[in-house]
Amino acid sequence: MIEKAKNNPTILEVHGVTKSFGGLKALINIDLSVTQKEILGLIGPNGSGKTTLFNIIAGNLRQNSGTIYFDGKDCSQMKAYQRCRLGIARTYQTPRPFLDFSVEQNVIVGLRYGQDKNVSIGSKNLTKKVGDILDLLGLGSPRLKLVKYLTLVDRKFVEVARALATNPKLLLLDEVLSGLTPAELEDAVKLIKKLSESFGITVIWIEHIMHSLLSICDRFVVLLQGTKLTEGEPGKVVSDERVIEAYLGKGGKKFTEKTV
């Protein structure tokens, strides 16, 4: 972990979280801690429990056991909107914007839903905040366009814009890079880094584009079949034989030795 994360206080603590769906154990006794301004990569094969953990942290699902502390408060039993107002925001792997709203209206919903009580509809403050968020994400031009007419990539950025509008302290990003061109990938990585460094937002990021994660993440946590396989600095984690085997099988080691 780099120095900025080491020296900052813990903002999220997950203790012993377990979640079952009938006879399927999706998460088993997960412990996780994240410091302020840290960018944490949450990785693992499909079905390892990553999105389930996001749903539990954000309050979309309730764990069977375990506790969650955010910014010093026990939010284990809080509803999703209550956690949002504490400062937890998330995006979804499949974007869920309001399709019949404009880009601007989607961001306004985020502003009104989130924790900033100083924004009122029609105020100059609201107009400025909407404009700042859209400009940051390159959505200034289509701000009045209905979201249903946007490309999938632009919808992903609307999803991020709406999450940022809630004024989060912790942002949970679920595969926001899929479908982007190499140039768009580079810009998106720079943006995520800026959110942490310039705006002080802590980020937990699920992504399968490993080189993007390696370029900015302070630390990785690896899930496998609902359990925490390992965690640590990115270079060390991706060289771990258990991680290589989890992703590529037993024959994957030779491949990664040539490419990592």
pLDDT tens digits, one per residue of 15-65: 999 999 998 999 999 999 999 999 999 999 999 999 999 999 999 999 999
Domain positions in the chain = 1-87+168-233, 99-167
The first and second tokens of residue 53, run together, are: 């953990």
Domain 1-87+168-233 sits in CATH at 3.40.50.300
Is the per-residue pLDDT at 260 higher than 60?
Answer: no
Q: How far is CA 192 from the centre of its chain?
A: 10
Structure confidence by residue, pLDDT tens digits, 199-225: 899 999 999 888 889 999 999 999 999
Q: Tell me what the pLDDT averaged over the chain comes to.
A: 88
Q: Return the axis-axis angle of helices 124-136 and 103-113, rounded to nearest 10°.
A: 120
Per the DSSP assignment, residues forming a β-bridge with 34 are 12
Q: What angle do CA 241, 243, 244 make, to 5 degrees?
A: 65
What's residue 197's pLDDT? 87
pTM above 0.95, yes or no: no
Structure confidence by residue, pLDDT tens digits, 147-158: 999 988 889 899
Distance, in Å, from the CA atom of 27 to the CA atom of 224, rounded to the nearest integer, reads 9
